[in-house]
Amino acid sequence: MNPLQGRPATRYVSLLVTAGLLVGCAVNRGETAEGAPLARQLTQSNHCGLAAPGLVYLDSAGQIERLSGLPTRNLPLDTLRAVDFEREHLVLVSLGQKPTGGYGVTLEQSEIRDGTLEVTMTVRQPAADTLVAQVLTTPCAVLAITPEGWDRLKVSGAGMDTLTRER
């Protein structure tokens, strides 16, 4: 005798769980179709020149020159110019102006979920009892991200506001 015979509800629940798992796998992605990461960190700086927290999205090489005019910028633009914009776009993630040294931001992970490229960042800040340089900083990280498979960008991490951008 079939153990599920006479128990159609159990059979349907099993079928629904299996279908849910298959759909979940199809919606979430952790890498491009070619196996490359969805996001990779190119560089970071303590002095990007952006006084407010936010995202700067660059989808062409010509837009890199916009960064050259930032005040107090100490960001290596040659690294950014080497990106193939047919395969990757750039995102500058800024923490905004900070009152001392010791702050920073780095890429932790990325995933495409339901049409949103979700990027998680790790934010570094000095401990309360740490001696730090008394200087204004504008920390940021520059990421190369896939331009495919998403319509919304969401950047978040403990210690920072969630930043979003629609394509």
Give residue-wise pLDDT tens across range 2-18: 555 555 555 544 444 44
Say whether both 43 and 90 belong to one domain.
yes
Find the DSSP H helices in 1-160. Answer: 8-27, 65-68, 77-81
Say whether both 16 and 58 belong to one domain.
no
Find the DSSP H helices in 74-155. Answer: 77-81
pLDDT of residue 68: 83
pLDDT band per the 50, 70, 90 thresholds, residue 90: very high
Task: Decide which of 60 and 4 is more confident.
Answer: 60
pLDDT of residue 29: 81
Say whether both 131 and 63 belong to one domain.
yes
Say whether both 42 and 53 belong to one domain.
yes
DSSP letter for 21, please: H
Is the model's pLDDT at 113 over the cut of 70? yes
Is the model's pLDDT at 146 over the cut of 60? yes
pLDDT band per the 50, 70, 90 thresholds, residue 74: confident
Say whether both 24 and 81 belong to one domain.
no
Say whether both 8 and 39 belong to one domain.
no
For the segment 116-132, the average pLDDT, to the nearest whole number, is 95
Number of domains composing the chain: 2
Beta bridge partners of 107: 121
Domain interval for residue 74: 31-166
- Burial 56-92, CB ≥16 within 10 A → b, else e: bebeeeeebeebeebeebebeeeebeebebeebbbbb
Average pLDDT, the chain: 86
Say whether both 62 and 137 belong to one domain.
yes
Say whether both 15 and 95 belong to one domain.
no
For the segment 50-79, the average pLDDT, to the nearest whole number, is 88
Q: What is the pTM of this model?
A: 0.80
DSSP letter for 64, please: G
pLDDT of residue 7: 57
- Matching residue, tokens 């015979």: 5
Say whether both 79 and 137 belong to one domain.
yes
Say whether both 51 and 9 belong to one domain.
no
Say whether both 99 and 142 belong to one domain.
yes
Say whether both 69 and 123 belong to one domain.
yes
